[in-house]
Amino acid sequence: MLKTTAKFYSEIRVRYQETDKMGVAYHGNYLTWFEFARVDMLDQLGIPYIKMEEQGFMLPVIEANARYLLPCYFDDRLKIETMIKKEPRVKIQVNYNIYRADEKVCQGHTVHAFIDQNRKICKPPEQFSDALKNLFKDN
């Protein structure tokens, strides 16, 4: 199976709404940040997620995983590193590392399936496969 070390970067800033009474960012919000970074990665790959949905494809999350290494706080500027390490077939796995300056604060991954307008599992749209082929060829 082809592998790549290509990495993509996105930035977010922790909102007050995202904190909880423990004084830290609520753990569930990291999945929203993963989503934000995933969408941003697809933009950078030239296959915006919004275009895929317009063409009738959706990429629902079928598995999500996060390990919280250090707490994050209101107003923290975080950098999210996003990777697709293995060439996807039916499922696609996206990996994430979240950094605050040099500290890694969280790592995780999500697994996705492609579904079509009838909500049936399908192959990725050609444009998506082509963009990823380039990604894996480059490495």
The contacts found for 128-135 with CB under 8 angstroms, 24 or more apart, are 128/47, 128/52, 128/57, 131/45, 131/46, 131/47, 132/45, 132/84, 132/87, 132/88, 133/87, 135/4, 135/6, 135/45, 135/84
- Which of these ranges, 50-58, 81-89, 92-100, 127-135, lies near a copy of itself under the rule CB under 8 A? 50-58
Binding-site size, a copy of itself (CB under 8 A): 35
**Residues with catalytic roles:** 20
116 scored as a contact of a copy of itself (CB under 8 A): no
39 touches a copy of itself by CB under 8 A: yes
Work out whether 137 is an interface residue with a copy of itself (CB under 8 A). no
32 is a contact residue toward a copy of itself (CB under 8 A): yes
Q: Nearest distance from residue 80's CB to a copy of itself, in Å?
A: 13
CB of 89 to a copy of itself, least distance (A): 19
Determine, following the binding rule CB under 8 A, whether residue 135 of this chain makes contact with a copy of itself: no
Residue 126 to residue 91: CA distance in whole angstroms: 15
Binding of residue 61 to a copy of itself (CB under 8 A): yes
Q: Tell me which DSSP letter residue 66 carries.
A: E
